[in-house]
Amino acid sequence: MIIYMPIILENHSSTSLTLQPHQVLTILSTSPSPTNRSLNLHKMWKLHCMIICLMAACLLASSLNVSFTEVANATQRRAVCMDGSPAGYYYSAGSGDGAKNWLLFLMGGGWCDNVDDCQSKLNQSLGSSRSMPFTKFSDILSPDSQINPDFYNWNRIFVAYCDQSSFLGDTEFDGQGPKLQFRGSRIFDTVVDDLLAKGMGIGENAILSGISAGGLATILHCDGFRARLPDVGRVKCLSDGGFFFRGENVLNADYREKYFASVITLHNISSLLPVTCTERIDPSLCFFPENLVRDIQTPIFILDSAFDAYQVRLRLVPPLSDDRIRWDLCLGNISTCTSTDKQLITDFGGAFLKAVREISNNPTIGMFIHACLIHTVLIDGRFWTPNSTIKLGNLSIQEAFANWYFDREPVRLITTANFLEICTKKKML
């Protein structure tokens, strides 16, 4: 587990902790859902974040503390978080035979699709770097060769996510309320500049990876990242939980499309999206990887669930829908799902699997598509391990990715399940 940028829990702990959506969703998928309509999703989020923060304080094991590094000349280069504070990253230098290898990890944390939503994040790590003293590296960033045998001694970089645009916006909002800076693309570019100055451009191996919104950013930036490293022998990408699916023929596709269209408009992203997509279809559809991945030239590994917890919980049924309470109850306890609920879940998973199968013949693409009701795995110690309970073709996620990355064998593993699976313990408290 990575304990990312801090949420301060007054009078509870001296440790600064932050939790991300994939961790919250693990609890949400195994806990009773609210039956009181007045307890809205925002309140649920706060409650579960506090619960998980307290859990995380108990779970922290000794690992590498890594200090926050502001990007060079951040303000002058406008590489800033939404509140105007300098963007940055956490960097652990490689050693031994990993000294010339680089693993760049883009954190996730959703998006903001309207001004009020963005302004509400200005005092959080999702919108500011003002309280990012250090983080702990573990799982795919772990310095422990037993936990992370393939990458433990690489140069490992954790890029803080404080722009809410999947590292792609470049504009500002200066109207009612606090001013907002949307500078995701500048943040990404300046972080890469900093790492090139540290020697990444003359490395032997490099990986661009990310989870959730950072996984989508990995897809969007994959070819651009490769272009910045012309002299590096092996450059590949790894997107975890980033295949956000429109599912044209799945219920509420218009809701999913309108949400991303709002993000694209607010952050002025259209001109920064891949032209291979925007020349073919409306830019509002070019945040959906089903319309992007087939055009990527750089080898990329898609790691996702056909029943992704974030998407199933929050994108199949709109939050203000009359069906919302029933849907939350269903996902809190699958036995309570109606036949209509189960059919919607089945329809989504089936369409998702059809979409990934259509691109699976591309020789540059690797895949590990499972059926677990989880969101991401790269910084989840239960799954980023050779002993993971999630296996396809008798390979763990960690083993499958390493085999693909190091060209040991092609890896395109896709579940045959036609319904979601519960791969976590029933109770976490």
The DSSP result for 253-278, as a single string, is HHHHHHHHHHHHHHTT-GGGS-HHHH
Residue 212 falls in the annotated catalytic set: yes
Catalytic residue among 308, 328, 341, 380: 308
Whether residue 118 lies inside any domain: the answer is yes
- Looking at residue 259, its amino acid is Y
Map tokens 């690489």 to a residue: 154
Q: Residue 86: what pLDDT?
A: 97
Is the distance from CB of 235 to CB of 225 less than 8 angstroms? yes
Q: Which residues contact 252 (CB under 8 A, 6 or more apart)?
A: 315, 316, 317, 318
Chain segment 30-55, per-residue pLDDT in tens: 444 444 444 455 554 444 444 434 33
In-domain check, residue 110: yes
Task: Give the single-character DSSP code of 421.
Answer: B
Terminal CA-CA length for the chain? 16
Task: Examine the residue annotation and report whether 308 is marked as an active-site residue of this protein.
Answer: yes
Reply yes or no on whether 221 is catalytic: no
Question: Do the Cβ atoms of 241 and 316 come closer than 8 Å?
Answer: no
Query: No. of H helices and E strands in the chain?
Result: 11, 14
Q: Is residue 27 part of a domain?
A: no
In 93-233, beta strands by DSSP E: 101-106, 134-137, 155-159, 171-173, 180-182, 205-211
Report if residue 48 sits inside a domain: no
Counted domains in the chain: 1
- Over range 367-392, report the average pLDDT: 95
Q: Which of 207, 198, 245 is nearest to 359 (CA)?
A: 245
Question: What pLDDT shows up at residue 287?
Answer: 97
Q: Is the residue at 181 inside a domain?
A: yes
Q: What is the CATH number of the domain that holds 103?
A: 3.40.50
Catalytic residue among 165, 212, 388, 396: 212
Strand, helix or coil for residue 235: strand
Is residue 284 over pLDDT 70?
Answer: yes
Whether the Cβ atoms of residue 224 and residue 253 lie closer than 8 Å to each other: no
Domain that residue 337 falls in: 65-414
Both tokens assigned to 186: 């500048």
SS3 13: coil
Q: Quickly list DSSP for 31-75.
A: SPPP--TTS-HHHHHHHHHHHHHHHHHHHPPS-EEEEEEEPTTTT
Average pLDDT over residues 368-386: 95
DSSP secondary structure code for residue 140 in this structure: G
Q: Is the pLDDT of residue 4 over 60?
A: no
pLDDT single digits (tens) 289-346: 999 999 999 999 999 999 999 999 999 999 989 999 999 999 999 999 999 999 999 9
pLDDT digit string (tens) for 112-124?
999 999 999 999 9
How much is the pLDDT for 43?
52
Check residue 251 and give its pLDDT: 96
Catalytic position from the list 375, 380, 388, 396:
375
Mean pLDDT along residues 392-415: 97
Would you say residue 28 lies in a domain?
no
> How does pLDDT run across 78-101, given as a tens digit for each residue?
999 999 999 999 999 999 999 999
Query: What mean pLDDT do residues 357-377 have?
Result: 96
Percent of the chain residues past pLDDT 90, beyond the cut: 79
The CA distance from 258 to 186, in Å, is: 25
In angstroms, rounded to a whole number, what is the distance separating the alpha carbons of residues 281 and 76? 35
Kindly state whether residue 428 falls inside one of the protein's structural domains: no
Nearest-Å Rg of the Cα atoms of the chain is 20
* Least reliable range by pLDDT among 5-19, 175-189, 190-204, 316-330: 5-19
Mean pLDDT of 167-171: 96
Please write the tens of the pLDDT for every residue from 256-275. Answer: 999 999 999 999 999 999 99
In the prediction, which pLDDT does 60 show?
Answer: 39
Distance CA 202, CA 184 (A): 25
3-state secondary structure string, 64-101? EEEEEEECCCCCCCCCECCCCCECEEEEECCCHHHCCE
Let me know if residue 158 belongs to a domain: yes
Kindly list the distances between the CA atom of residue 31 and the CA atoms of 40, 72, 370, 417, in Å, as whole numbers in the listed order.
15, 44, 22, 24
- CB contact set of 136 (below 8 Å; sequence gap of 6+): 2, 3, 60, 63, 64, 65, 66
pLDDT at 65: 87
pLDDT digits (tens, 9 = 90+) for 222-250: 999 999 999 999 999 999 999 999 999 99
Q: What are phi and psi of 100, to 5 degrees?
A: -110, 20
Pick the closest to residue 108 from 197, 251, 236, 4 (CA basis): 4
- What pLDDT sits at residue 291? 96
Return the beta strands (E) in 145-262 as ranges: 155-159, 171-173, 180-182, 205-211, 234-240
What integer is the mean pLDDT of 56-67?
55
